[in-house]
Amino acid sequence: MERSLELANMTRVQQFLLLGLSTRLDIRDALFAVFLTLYLLTLVENALIIYLICSHSELHKPMYFFLGNLSCLEMCYVSVTMPTLLVGLWTGPYHISFVTCMTQLFFFIVLICTECTLLASMAYDRYVAICRPLHYPLLMRPQVCLGLALSSWLGGLVVSVAKTTCIASLSYCGPNVLNQFFCDVSPLLNLSCTHVTLTELVDFISAIVIFCGTLLVSLASYSAIGMAVLRMPSAAARRKAFSTCASHLVVVGIFYSAALFIYCRPSRIKSMDLNKVLSVIYTVVTPLCNPIIYCLRNKEVHTVLKKTFHWP
């Protein structure tokens, strides 16, 4: 009874204070210019990839279909997290309402879960292309590709509804300071004044299912690809097969290394400065680098780029 009265007397937090990426006045202006440039460059790069894929029939293939989905996702991704990062660098620590914070969290979880599943789908596509080339037109026909893409987006939506509902239902009685540049899971759990075991369990289970599940699919696909490549008779064939997978392996390595460190454990994260650095990697660096990594060594993309801009 006393516990109930105590909780009833607590004032629910109506807004959070985002500390942002840095509170140092001497570097905030420089960081603002850098991250604004990175944000605009990310949007332009990914928009260009989508345009090239949609406007050139040479790129109407499963690999580029998934790459177009990934580019669309990356544009949404940076547009969810980057605005609050930029506002924090421009104004310093600022308040964000509870509803806005939970909305940002919802879309962030949708997108990060969808990206995991898309990366696994792209790994499966490469597995079929290299290990089962004769069956590729059947196994990766348009209906299958569309189904995999829709499953990725719907799966991210379902997971986000469950996680965001759990986090939003917690009681936040103060303090209300988030040592992060956007509303993330771990900083919010650290501020809850009620028992978070169930929420951490949901977070942990979803991490196992989404992060570890999709990572295992990618690892299994590339293990099979590796064995198939090693069995190829000529060095030229091995190089060609490896070149089609190297870019995806780089993206998977960068993304999962940062994300799994943060999300695949139920305990609350104490080193929030390290958390912010890792968050920058998969919310800023990865969306910026993905188009470059995927397309820098891709001859088909080079060809349509030259055709589009009339380069010699």
Provide the pLDDT confidence category of residue 3 given band limits of 50, 70 and 90. Answer: very low
Closest by CA position to 295, among listed 251, 229, 241, 252? 251
Residues 94-148 have pLDDT tens digits of 899 999 999 999 999 999 999 999 999 999 998 998 889 899 999 999 999 999 9
Q: Work out the mean pLDDT of the chain and round it to a whole number.
A: 83
Asked if residues 78 and 42 have their Cβ atoms less than 8 Å apart, the reply is yes
Asked if residues 44 and 142 have their Cβ atoms less than 8 Å apart, the reply is no
Residues 181-212 have pLDDT tens digits of 999 888 888 888 877 777 777 777 877 788 88
Provide the pLDDT confidence category of residue 169 given band limits of 50, 70 and 90. Answer: confident
69: buried, middle or exposed (CB in 10 Å: 19+, 13-18, 0-12)? buried
CA torsion, ordered 183, 187, 189, 190, to nearest 10 deg: -150
91: buried, middle or exposed (CB in 10 Å: 19+, 13-18, 0-12)? exposed
DSSP 296: T
What is the rounded CA–CA span in Å between residue 62 and residue 81? 29
Provide the pLDDT confidence category of residue 262 given band limits of 50, 70 and 90. Answer: low
> pTM for this structure?
0.86
Asked if residues 229 and 246 have their Cβ atoms less than 8 Å apart, the reply is no
Provide the pLDDT confidence category of residue 40 given band limits of 50, 70 and 90. Answer: very high
Single-letter amino acid, residue 194: T
Asked if residues 88 and 177 have their Cβ atoms less than 8 Å apart, the reply is no
Residue 4 clears pLDDT 90, i.e. is over it: no
CA torsion, ordered 291, 293, 299, 304, to nearest 10 deg: 10
Using the CB atoms, write b or e for 255-287: b if 16+ within 10 Å.
bbebbeebbbebeebeebeebbebbbbbbbebb
How is residue 26 written in tokens?
């001497």
CB atoms under 10 Å from CB of 41, counted, come to 14
Residues 179-188 have pLDDT tens digits of 889 998 888 8
